[in-house]
């Protein structure tokens, strides 16, 4: 029979087996498992057996019920799961006397479900692809560039700094408060151009209020920046380089 072990920090406050009768959890004294803390709702959640599975249901509590760190409404509990309610933790444990509460191999996650044809997901191909990406993409491309900082060097024009390291996924060139490359001057546009880092870890420049030029060519579609490219936008000239 599974049992619930109520803990606060590292001390065990109470243990409660879950049999055929459900265990209600909350601040109110009527509950089977009372947690007297303002963060806990009067009737917070319940744990019950259903067809041999141990279920947890949150009663729409104010501060929520978390299983292994994720907020839940209704879930199946497994031995070893940690249920967070306020600052208290309830650990699901398997009492020695077995009575059909399936544990599988010692609380490990059940195998992933077989995917029906209609789901249109090929897990094998997905895994193979992810392995390939891990093997090829990561080692040959991402690793070396991590040491090098993509940087914009100001060659001409009025800006608040001489150079800018591109740390964010979105970099705005303009006068706006959200701009990284801050343009000065009365007639500077709020957002002249934008540079985004995509999932291939490359940087792409695109038009905003102005159409920037890269190496003299106007950029109509977002264009990948290469080291040494010179960007001209709103009277400012910027060189894109990777700094070591």
Partner 1 sequence: MDRAETLVATEMEVGARSDTGCVRENNEDSYRVAPELNLFVLSDGMGGLDAGEVASRLAVDTILEHCRAAEANPSLPLSGEHVEGVSSASNRLASAIRLANAVVYRAAQQATGDRGMGATVVAVRLADARMSVAHVGDSRVYRLRAGEFEQLTQDHSFVADQVRKGKMTEEEAGSSAMQNVLVRALGIDPTVEVDVSEELVLEGDTVLLCSDGLSRELSDDQIASVLREYDDAQRAASRLVDLAKQAGGGDNVTVIVLRHATKPTGAFARIGKWFKNSA
Contact residues toward partner 1 (CB under 8 A) are 53, 64, 69-73, 75-76, 109-110, 112-116, 118-123, 125-126, 129-130, 167-170, 172, 176, 178, 190-191, 194, 196-199, 206-209, 220-222
Cβ at position 96, least distance to partner 1 in Å: 26
Identity of the residue, 18 or 166, whose beta carbon is nearer to partner 1 in the bound complex: 166
Identity of the residue, 26 or 150, whose beta carbon is nearer to partner 1 in the bound complex: 150
Query: Are 241 and 227 a contacting pair, CB within 8 Å?
Result: yes
Cβ at position 40, least distance to partner 1 in Å: 16
Residue with tokens 């001390």: 11
Identity of the residue, 12 or 108, whose beta carbon is nearer to partner 1 in the bound complex: 108
Instruction: At 24, list the tokens.
Output: 């209600």
Cβ at position 172, least distance to partner 1 in Å: 6
Nearest to 47 by CA among 101, 122, 110, 119: 101
Alpha-carbon gap, residue 84 to 4, rounded angstroms:
12
Instruction: At 46, list the tokens.
Output: 């319940």
Identity of the residue, 98 or 170, whose beta carbon is nearer to partner 1 in the bound complex: 170
Cβ at position 33, least distance to partner 1 in Å: 22
Nearest to 150 by CA among 229, 209, 219: 229
Cβ at position 25, least distance to partner 1 in Å: 19
Identity of the residue, 162 or 221, whose beta carbon is nearer to partner 1 in the bound complex: 221
Render 134-192 in DSSP notation, one character per residue. IIIIIIIIIHHHHTSEEEEEEEES-BSSSEEE--SSEEEEESSTT-SEEB-STT--S--
């Amino acid at each position: 029979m599974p049992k619930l072990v109520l803990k606060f920090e590292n001390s065990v406050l109470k243990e409660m087996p879950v049999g055929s009768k459900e265990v209600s959890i909350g601040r109110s004294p009527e509950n089977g498992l009372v947690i007297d803390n303002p963060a806990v709702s009067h009737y917070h959640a319940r744990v019950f057996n259903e067809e041999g599975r141990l279920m947890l249901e949150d009663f729409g509590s104010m501060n929520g019920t978390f299983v292994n760190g994720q907020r839940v409404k209704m879930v199946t509990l497994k031995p070893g799961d940690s249920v967070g309610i306020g600052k208290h933790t309830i650990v699901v444990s398997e009492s020695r006397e077995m009575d059909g509460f399936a544990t599988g191999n010692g609380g490990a996650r059940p195998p992933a479900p077989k995917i029906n044809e209609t789901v249109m997901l090929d897990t094998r191909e997905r895994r193979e692809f992810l392995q390939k990406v891990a093997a090829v993409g990561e080692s040959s491309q991402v690793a070396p560039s991590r040491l090098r900082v993509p940087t914009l060097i100001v060659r001409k024009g009025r800006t608040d700094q001489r150079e800018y390291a591109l740390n964010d996924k979105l970099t705005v060139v303009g006068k706006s408060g959200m701009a990284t490359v801050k343009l000065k001057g009365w007639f500077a546009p709020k957002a002249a151009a934008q540079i985004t880092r995509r999932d291939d870890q490359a940087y792409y420049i695109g038009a905003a209020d102005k159409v920037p030029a890269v190496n003299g060519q106007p950029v109509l579609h977002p264009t990948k920046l290469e080291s040494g490219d010179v960007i001209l936008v709103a009277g400012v000239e910027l060189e894109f380089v990777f700094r070591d």
